[in-house]
Amino acid sequence: MNYKELYQPAHTIIGKGCIQEIPKHIDTIAGKKALVVTDEGLYKIGTVKKVTDVLDRAGKPYALYTGVKPNPTVSLVNEAKAVYDREGCDYLIGIGGGSPLDVSKAVSILAKNGGKIEDYNGLDKSKKSGVPLIAINTTAGTGSEVTRAYVVTDEVRKVKMLMVDAHCLSYLALNDPALMVDMPAPLTAATGMDALTHAIEAYVAKSHFPFTDGLALEAVGLVGKSLQKACENGRDMDARTDMCWAEYMAGLAFSNAGLGMVHAMAHQLGGFYNTPHGVANAILLTYVMKYNLPSCKDRYADIARALKIDTSHMTPDQAANAAIDYIEKLAERIYIPKLSQTAFKPSDVLTLSLHALEDTGMPENPREATLVDVQKVFMDAYYAK
Ligand SMILES: NC(=O)c1ccc[n+]([C@@H]2O[C@H](COP(=O)([O-])OP(=O)(O)OC[C@H]3O[C@@H](n4cnc5c(N)ncnc54)[C@H](O)[C@@H]3O)[C@@H](O)[C@H]2O)c1
Ligand SMILES: [Fe+2]
């Protein structure tokens, strides 16, 4: 195959105040009634109202579903879909971080394709494009507003299913940093490290190509410049705006190149213990980088340069290690916990590792991992080696 298909939303708007543009896009898709999918927290702090005020002023009808929880489950998706049907909706507006946006994508796919959401676990399993989705991002972030992926926890098997499917791409992706100023520092830190993980995994993924390389390196640079600032001062609009671009570009990069072993393992912590996704990635990132190093040290050296580390007197090995060291220190400065401070239990490591090997993210990892390798990386992270 000598061609590449690019996956991206039909429209994107990024910048302070961009939610004002929503009504004209509703007119374009001729949307009659939206299901607004969000979570209770965002409803209570008034973030949802900022968007519904725009809909109210423009006379756009909608029903509200505020029941999304972090690491959303199959039953939660079914509940949201039942509201969508009962209310006679014909398109979706997701407001939130990855969890509400992923539920919106799942409902969008079910509304057009029927069946159970478990049927769509894996790569391109649906037949038809979902109903139109306006994805309004509030964390920076998962990149869910831009990606062709969504994640749903199978609560029976305690596994996070990663669906990669071009049919779930949003019609309109919105990133308004003004919606992000209320993110507390730990959430800013965790979601920012998720974005960094997307960029790094995309940069070293087996399927990377020049388009994704450019996006990934620029995203890494912006995280290096602004994540700590956004954690220290949530009202720093320049830092929030940088993080919007970083998470969007990192999302676009991995949506086109793929993920890797960090996500394959992090999904298990989310599915088994409900560990927040960004925290799980942030904890595992440098341990997986150390494991992958023999397969991609030149690429890690590029990441060091993107982080503005002066590598001019370093060997590729030293530069790659400098990148890992930088990220370890960044994680400490923004108070990312250690694996031993989470619900992880060493006695679960075999099950977690078996599931990680089956994760949709694993095949793109630059180094082929065995069961023993995955177990060792979990345990290295646990003992903070
Ligand atoms: N679709 C994808 O491409 C993709 C990629 C990575 C992760 N994910 C998935 O996304 C989910 C994680 O999403 P997330 O990390 O964005 O968090 P989240 O959506 O689970 O939200 C976590 C908490 O943050 C709060 N919150 C969100 N925005 C806020 C804001 N602006 N101000 C204050 N509080 C706010 C929410 O109310 C919630 O309590 C996981 O299920 C993960 O697997 C999806
Ligand atoms: Fe992620």
CATH 3.40.50.1970 maps onto the chain at 11-179
Please tell me if the CB atom of residue 292 comes closer than 6 angstroms to any atom of ligand 1. no
CATH 1.20.1090.10 maps onto the chain at 186-382
Please tell me if the CB atom of residue 37 comes closer than 6 angstroms to any atom of ligand 1. no
State yes or no: pLDDT of 1 exceeds 80: no
Ligand 2: centre distance to CA 330 (Å): 18
Q: Which atom of ligand 1 is nearest the CA belonging to 182?
A: 32
CA 377, CA 385: separation in Å to the nearest integer? Answer: 9
Taking the domain 186-382, which CATH number applies? Answer: 1.20.1090.10
Ligand 2: centre distance to CA 198 (Å): 6
Please tell me if the CB atom of residue 191 comes closer than 6 angstroms to any atom of ligand 1. yes
Q: Give the amino acid at 340.
A: S
Residues 6+ positions from 133 with CB-CB distance below 8 Å: 91, 92, 93, 94, 104, 105, 108, 168, 170, 171, 172
Note the pLDDT tens digit of each residue in 243-286.
999 999 999 999 999 999 999 999 999 999 999 999 999 999 99
Backbone φ and ψ for 320, nearest 5 degrees, come out as -60, -45
State the average pLDDT for the chain: 97
Pocket test for ligand 1, best of 139, 158, 176 (most atoms within 8 A of CB): 139
* Closest by CA position to 79, among listed 113, 49, 18, 35: 35
CA 32, CA 27: separation in Å to the nearest integer? Answer: 9
Please tell me if the CB atom of residue 144 comes closer than 6 angstroms to any atom of ligand 1. yes
Both tokens of residue 278? 């960004």
Please tell me if the CB atom of residue 143 comes closer than 6 angstroms to any atom of ligand 1. yes
State yes or no: pLDDT of 16 exceeds 90: yes
Ligand 2: centre distance to CA 317 (Å): 27
Q: Which CATH class is domain 11-179?
A: alpha beta
Note the pLDDT tens digit of each residue in 337-348.
999 999 999 999
Note the pLDDT tens digit of each residue in 76-120.
999 999 999 999 999 999 999 999 999 999 999 999 999 999 999
* Contact present, 221 and 307 (Cβ < 8 Å): yes
